[in-house]
Amino acid sequence: MEDNTKKVKIAVNGGINFGSKLSAKQLLVLAKYLGDEEIELTTFQQLYLEIPADQKQDIIAEFEEAGLQCYPVGNFVKSLRTCNFCKGAEAEGMPVAIELNNRIAGIPVPFTLKPAYTGCPIGCGEPMVNDIGVMKVKDTYNLYVGGKTKGQDAVAGKLIRENLTPEQLYIVVDKIIQLYSEQGKKREPFHKFVNRIGYETLNEHLY
């Protein structure tokens, strides 16, 4: 018999930790709601799955109880893509990455925005080729914007701030996203937006 249950797509991952990992408990709770559906592994350390719309809040609560984090799918700031923090949580700024993710993931924007974080200049989190990239260098943070990972015109982002403290980093990233939310055209990708307004104008808005 045809299943007419209304479904909603959500994004799920295991949160920011030492690598993008899932436990057996987390896999089991995901499997419980898969039925005959498939789960989609995205390039951005998220899994997409569809769940019944009328049970959304209860299912998300159950996922969160198992340590999963849930995010909306569509034109929102994605959860922070990170490196594996191989040199240790404190040394590589995991608390800063978690706080940044808590502040920005899920904010509505004109087009899906991908932020990335890496704990040292080796750059395993690929901050240079994402919309907003954070690189920890010694005890401070460098910020890149406007990277483009797809297409034949893929480019590295531009370094716009160096030696930021965590608080300075949060404030600058908040301002960039706010500006994009307010002045970005509908479905205008972030790198196009940055090129349209120009780095000079962007910088003026950040002061």
Minimal distance, residue 115 CB to ligand SF4, in Å? 15
Cβ–Cβ under 8 Å, residues 144 and 160: yes
Minimal distance, residue 133 CB to ligand SF4, in Å? 12
Q: What is the largest CA-CA distance in the chain?
A: 60
Per-position x/- string for 16-55, each x denoting binding to ligand SF4 as judged by CB under 6 A, each - no binding = ----------------------------------------
Which structure tokens are listed for 170?
């949060």
Helical H segments across the chain, by residue range: 24-32, 56-65, 94-104, 166-183, 190-197, 199-206
Minimal distance, residue 89 CB to ligand SF4, in Å? 10
Chain center to CA of 132: 9
Minimal distance, residue 118 CB to ligand SF4, in Å? 4
CA distance 195 to 201: 10
**Closer Cβ to ligand SF4, 67 or 123, answer by number:** 123
By CB under 6 A, the count of residues binding ligand SF4 is: 13
**Closer Cβ to ligand SF4, 101 or 180, answer by number:** 101
**3-state DSSP assignment of residue 135:** strand
CB-neighbour burial class of residue 73 (10 A; exposed 0-12, middle 13-18, buried 19+)? middle
**Closer Cβ to ligand SF4, 122 or 171, answer by number:** 122
CA distance 181 to 190: 10
CA distance 74 to 39: 17
**Closer Cβ to ligand SF4, 89 or 206, answer by number:** 89
Minimal distance, residue 126 CB to ligand SF4, in Å? 9
CA distance 83 to 60: 25
Minimal distance, residue 122 CB to ligand SF4, in Å? 4
Task: Please report, as residue ranges, which positions from 75 to 134 form the binding site for ligand SF4 (by CB under 6 A).
Answer: 83-87, 92, 118-120, 122-125
**Closer Cβ to ligand SF4, 10 or 83, answer by number:** 83
Which residues of the shown chain bind ligand SF4 in the complex (CB under 6 A)?
Answer: 83-87, 92, 118-120, 122-125
